[in-house]
């Protein structure tokens, strides 16, 4: 595959690693990438193991102008393992949409794919924007994991009440784009 050329401003304000997970809301990552780039951010994407079932890496690569990290077990182009370089290069990691799976894994210290490994190695802010069924979001175990991560310094952009993939309305709908972008801007000032 040919090297992707970065589009947009040459001097990006900050570098965002956008983590995309296996949620029906994964398509909203496209809007997040576009809006961040309009505001001068450089965006690179990393996908959880199953995110490719919801959105193709090529879509993210085309919109971001950067290679999408999707596999933990491939040979890096440089000496530093990719998950470490992703964490070192990012000023902020934004996981949007964030599933119950990734929240639980990070809270338990599980690093079994490129995205969870990058989060584990992060030194800057990590922000989760959950999107899932309301019953999943309201699950007391998940709520305990969210509270635990907040205590450890992770940030959350709370989901809103909205139409869910199951057909009902409830809390678990991904936060509005403006709220997500504003949080990233605030944490990278």
Per-residue pLDDT of 124-143, as tens digits, reads 999 999 999 999 999 999 99
What is the pLDDT confidence band of residue 81, given thresholds at 50, 70 and 90?
Answer: low
Distance from C-alpha of 118 to C-alpha of 19, rounded to nearest angstrom: 9
Calculate the average pLDDT of the chain: 90
CATH topology of domain 15-73+80-187: Rossmann fold (3.40.50)
166 has catalytic annotation: yes
Distance from C-alpha of 98 to C-alpha of 79, rounded to nearest angstrom: 30
Neighbours of 2 (CB within 10 A): 4
Helices (H), 109-139: 114-121, 134-138
Domain residue spans in the chain?
15-73+80-187
- Report which of 175, 151, 8 is spatially closest to residue 95, judged by C-alpha positions: 175
Catalytic residue among 30, 45, 120, 166: 166
Q: 161 pLDDT exceeds 90?
A: yes
- Report which of 134, 129, 141, 120 is spatially closest to residue 164, judged by C-alpha positions: 134
């Amino acid at each position: 595959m040919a090297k992707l050329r970065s589009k947009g401003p040459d001097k990006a304000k900050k570098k965002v690693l956008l983590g995309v997970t296996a949620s029906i809301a994964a398509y909203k990552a496209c809007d997040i990438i576009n809006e961040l780039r309009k505001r001068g951010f450089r965006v690179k994407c990393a996908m959880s193991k199953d995110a490719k079932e919801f959105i193709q890496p090529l879509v993210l690569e085309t919109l971001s102008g950067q290679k999408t990290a999707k596999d933990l077990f491939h040979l890096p182009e440089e000496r530093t393992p990719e998950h470490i370089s992703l964490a070192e290069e990012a000023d902020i990691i934004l996981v949007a949409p964030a599933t119950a799976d990734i929240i639980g894994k990070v809270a338990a210290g599980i690093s079994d794919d490129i995205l969870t490994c990058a989060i584990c190695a992060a030194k800057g802010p990590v922000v989760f924007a959950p999107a899932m069924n309301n019953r999943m979001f309201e699950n007391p175990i998940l709520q305990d994991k969210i509270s635990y991560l907040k205590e450890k310094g992770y940030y959350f952009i709370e989901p809103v009440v909205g139409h869910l993939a199951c057909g009902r309305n409830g809390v678990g709908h991904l936060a509005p784009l403006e709220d997500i972008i504003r949080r990233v801007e605030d944490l990278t000032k």
